[in-house]
Amino acid sequence: MNTVQEHAYINFINNANKMWTKQVLTHNLIKLIQVLTVVAKLYFVLYMYKKACKKQALTYPQKWWITLLKTNLN
């Protein structure tokens, strides 16, 4: 290979690596946002559960989801 072909090949590889890195970073960022969303939803459900327990003073914790639904509907 002459130097022009070598430089073209090196540039092609470098550009491919940059694109791959951007794709991986974007993918990881999307995954991170999805995980944070799930954590926020779980935290919200636990917060509503605690709020419902304080409000109703439940003696049967297995009925917490009914109270959660009633709280959300009102």
Question: For residue range 48-74, what is the model confidence (pLDDT) as tens digits?
Answer: 888 877 766 555 555 666 667 676 655
Give the pLDDT band of residue 40 (cuts 50, 70, 90): very high
Instruction: Using a cut of 0.85, tell me whether the model's pTM lies above it.
Output: no
What's the one-letter identity of residue 62? Q
How many domains does the structure of the chain reveal?
1
Six token digits for residue 3:
């130097």
Model pLDDT, residue 1: 54
Q: How many residues does the chain have?
A: 74
pLDDT of 15 strictly over 70 = yes
Cα separation, 37 vs 47, whole angstroms: 15
Query: Is the separation of the CB atoms in 31 and 38 below 8 Å?
Result: no
Nearest by Cα to 49 from 33, 16, 72: 72
**Which residue range forms the structural domain that includes residue 31?**
3-73
Confidence at residue 30, expressed as pLDDT on a 0 to 100 scale: 92
